A = this chain, B = another copy of it.
Amino acid sequence: MSPRIGLDLPAILQAAVEIADARGLEEVTLASLAQKLDVRSPSLYNHVNGLSGLRSKLAVHGLEQLLHVMTQAVVGRSGDDAVRELGKAYVAFARAHPGLYDATLRAPDPEDAEVRRLAGETVDLVVRALQAYELKDEAALHAVRGLRSLLHGFSSLEQRGGFGMPLDLDVSFRLLLDTFLAGLHEMKRRAKAESKRD
């Protein structure tokens, strides 16, 4: 009376996400996962290619959700409004799913096709959100990197307790985004002046 307990990939991922978010990504082991699912750990190999396979699936799963909330955040918006909502959605996701967010950045293989596809789609989304700033091709990509750096940096430090000071985190974040946007406008202004002078 043992086989066919009803294990499948979605159930495994959900359990893994719960452990990751509640106890940290390092606590997601085949042993802890098997215990939560009331199964022996070798059984998991029928659904997932070991621990590294599980981590890959987790990374993809997280990237999909992150892309989804970011997409929802920007639809129907443009300019500063779009970027602000995008940023808020990013940070909110990292706060709601600290372990899963962590997983998106520790894919065992960053060259994984699925991971690259999702990364590409995310870049495209952010490029569109930045259209209002009239950055020309390469500049837009640099800006995407910058925005992502700032969003990830803030989220990562917030999670690791890297901000020791007793200061409102939401205010810090809003000011950071405001500063970046003001900088973007200023860069746009300078570029205009530059092209007019030529």
Contacts and interface: CB of A to CB of B under 8 A. Distances in A.
Interface of A: 105-106, 110, 116, 119-120, 123, 138-139, 141-143, 145-146, 148-154, 156-157, 160-165, 167, 171-172, 175-176, 178-187, 190
Nearest to A109: B161
A145 B172 contact: yes
A165 B110 contact: no
A152 to B, nearest CB: 4
A179 to B, nearest CB: 4
B152 A156 contact: yes
Contacts of A145: 154, 157, 163, 165, 167, 172, 176
A146 B187 contact: no
**Majority secondary structure, A binding face:** helix
Residue with the highest number of chain B CB atoms closer than 10 Å, among A141, A143, A186, A187: A186
A107 to B, nearest CB: 8
A-B pairs, top 6 by smallest CB distance, nearest first, are: A153-B153, A183-B183, A179-B183, A149-B153, A146-B176, A182-B186
B178 A183 contact: yes
Given A116-B164, A148-B153, 7 more contacts: A119-B162, A145-B176, A146-B176, A149-B157, A152-B153, A179-B184, A180-B183
A142 B187 contact: no
A175 B123 contact: no
Contact of A154 (B153, B184, B190): B153
